[in-house]
Each structure stands twice: as C-alpha cells, then as structure tokens.
Amino acid sequence: MSLFKKVDDLRSEFMQALASNPALSDLEQIRQNFLGRKGVINDLFKKIQEIEADRRGEFGGLINQLKLDIHDHIEARINEHRGEEKALSSVDVTLPGIQVERGTIHPIESTLRDFKQIFHRLGFSVAEGPEIETQWHNFDALNFPPEHPARDMQDTFFLKNDSVLRTHTSPVQIRLMLEEKPPIRSIMPGRVYRNEAIDAGHYCLFHQVEGLYVDEHVTMGELKATLELFCREYFGESVKLRFRPSFFPFTEPSSEMDVSCFLCGGQGCRVCKQTGWLEIGGCGMVDPNVFKSVNIDSEIYTGYAFGMGIERIAMMKYGITDIRLLFENDVRFLKQF
C-alpha cells in the first residue's frame, strides 16, 4: 500500500471514530492512538526515509496537516463536552419546579368514556355514522310517518338535497342493519341536533348513546337485564331502575327509563323534583316496520333498542344545573372536573 494512501486511510479512520460521538474518556484514547508517542502518526514520520527524496517534503507536509487536523477536531469535541457539563452543573436541582397547567377531561367526554367501557364489558361494539343524514335514514326507515311532529321545522335542521342534521343517533342503527347481518350488538354514541330554544335545560346540540341488539329470540327481559346491569355499574349497586309505558315510532312496546335519584337516595330533592326518580332515556323492542325497511325478517329476528342523553346524565352525576355550561368552554367551570 502506498504511504500516501496510508495518510488518506488514517484520516478516514479518524473521522469514522469521531462520527460515533465518543465520550470524553474515549476522545483521550483516540488522541493517544493517533497522536501519542506510540501512535500511528509517529509511525508515519519514521517512514519518511522510505519515500523518494524529491517527494519527502510533500509527504511530511501531509502528515503534519493530518496531525494538526486531528488535534483541532479532538480539542473542539473536548470543549463541547466541557460546555455541556458546565451547563448541567449550573442547574440548581434544589429549586422548585415550574408548575405545569394540566388539562382535564370534559364532563361529556368522561361520561361517554364510562358508557363505552361499561357496554364493552357487556359485549357491545361501537358504531358511528354521519351527522348529516338523509330524511330516509333519519325518519322514514325508523317508522316516522310523514305527518310526525318530529319532522317539523321547530325540531329539525333541514339542509339542501333532502338532508337534515340528525336528530338522534338512530340512523346509525339503520346503517348498521343494512351493512351487517344479525346477530348485531352495538352502541352508537355521537352528537345530535334539535332546533330548540336554548335555556338552562335545552341546547341546539347534545350527545346521545343508543344501543341495538338484534338476534333470534331477543326479549324485553334481556333489555331490562342489560339496562339494570348498566345502571348498577354506572350509578352504583343501590340504584333502582323502573320502566314506564311510552311511545316511540321505532319501538313497540316502548318504555321510558327512570333511575332512583342517586343524590338523595330516592328520598326526594331539588334535582329529582321531590319525586325520588330521574329520567335517563327511552327503550323498547324494535318495531317490525323498522326491520322491514332494512330487509331483516321479523318472523325470525327480534331486537331491542335504547337511548340515553349524555348531557342529562352528566348534569345529574356532577350536579350541573345549566346545560349551557357544558358548551361554553369556561376554564373556571371546567377546572372543577
């Protein structure tokens, strides 16, 4: 190998050693390997006599330049390390840390998470759908007759091209039954919209969680058992659940669900209006006309559905008296949670 090439090879070898970001102790070892009395640079100086006389000056200059470059690079790296050590030593670890503002989970999101976790343990998956719906998905397929008051402009936000802002998450049930074959067991959380006057108890948008179970031989008893398990898990073991006859176009028979007031233990208070009961939603067996809309044979399959308002339950749980507080993003309010 040419001694001139040896100089180039040593330069490459040094740069590779430096590229590994060596520690301070390793830098001293690299210095000794290259510049020490027994280092490779000294070995090269001893071999100058082997070079042709007219090129010895050129060879010596290359070795000297390599020696200077190695020295400068090592000193620069050593200074970097010492600078970092000095910066670290200037930090007073006994000083109190800077207080970091921590965010909190919004009451609506916290309630939604609790619902999803409980129903997941009960065997329900989660399904979602669009917030802009066709009237067919939002009304027709759910057995709403053309003259039903829910279609009125006072209740529904109508858009162009026969679209509406969904008034409930039931259209997700329709989409799910069109896409999947029974058995179907799922909940549908999401935002819904109603054209209502805004006050302490009403808002133009809110959140719902609806549930659907379709299979052979599904009964009202299974619906009651599922909702009782949910209520005990969410409100506590001592809570009681009652069903009151009601009417919904998409279920038959239909019921309203009440839980015993967990704030007063059913004794009567301001929140439950002295009744001892709190309404949490509606439920019932899926109407055969709904099955007909989605091409499911109601002679073979039955199913139940239920729906609950997230804001209503969050307000009951946290003692919130004005629904508008949940949408104003007032930090003073949110910090309480």
In the chain, the percentage of residues whose pLDDT exceeds 90 is: 41
Does the pLDDT value for residue 152 go beyond 80?
no
Is residue 96 exposed (0-12), middle (13-18) or buried (19+ Cβ within 10 Å)? exposed
Lowest mean pLDDT among 18-32, 73-87, 249-263: 73-87
Most confident of 127-141, 233-247, 253-267: 127-141
Does the pLDDT value for residue 31 go beyond 80?
no
Cα(279)–Cα(273) distance, integer angstroms: 11
Q: Are strands 277-286 and 302-309 parallel, antiparallel or unpaired?
A: antiparallel
The CATH number, out of the four listed (3.40.50.300, 3.30.930.10, 3.40.190.10, 3.30.300.30), of the domain defined by the range 108-334 = 3.30.930.10
For residue range 273-292, what is the model confidence (pLDDT) as tens digits?
778 888 889 999 999 999 99
Quickly state the pLDDT bin for 87 (edges 50, 70, 90): low
Quickly state the pLDDT bin for 304 (edges 50, 70, 90): very high
End-to-end CA distance of the chain: 76
Alpha carbon separation from 240 to 192, 232, 259, 269 (Å, rounded): 28, 8, 5, 16
For residue range 170-182, what is the model confidence (pLDDT) as tens digits?
999 999 999 999 9
- Say what the pTM is: 0.67
Dihedral pair phi/psi, residue 111, rounded to 5° = -65, -45
Does the pLDDT value for residue 142 go beyond 90?
yes
Quickly state the pLDDT bin for 114 (edges 50, 70, 90): very high
Give me the pLDDT at residue 84, please. Answer: 65
Does the pLDDT value for residue 122 go beyond 60?
yes
Domain ranges in the chain are 3-89, 108-334
Nearest 5°: CA angle at 318, between 113 and 167?
60
Cα(287)–Cα(135) distance, integer angstroms: 18
Whole-angstrom Cα Rg for the chain = 38
Does the pLDDT value for residue 333 go beyond 70?
yes
Most confident of 47-56, 95-104, 239-248, 283-292: 283-292
The arithmetic mean of pLDDT across residues 84-99, rounded, is 70
Does the pLDDT value for residue 1 go beyond 60?
no
The arithmetic mean of pLDDT across residues 128-156, rounded, is 87
Does the pLDDT value for residue 189 go beyond 90?
yes
Give me the pLDDT at residue 123, please. Answer: 93
Q: Are 293 and 311 in contact (CB under 8 A)?
A: no
Q: Crossing angle for the helix pair 3-19 and 24-35, nearest 10 degrees?
A: 170
Most confident of 58-72, 88-102, 140-154: 140-154
> Which of these, 308, 304, 175, 177, lies nearest to 252 by C-alpha position?
304
Does the pLDDT value for residue 66 go beyond 80?
no
Point out which residues pair with 133 in neighbouring strands. Answer: 164
Quickly state the pLDDT bin for 299 (edges 50, 70, 90): very high
- Between 178 and 24, where is the model more confident? 178
Does the pLDDT value for residue 206 go beyond 80?
yes
Quickly state the pLDDT bin for 109 (edges 50, 70, 90): very high
- Between 27 and 196, where is the model more confident? 196
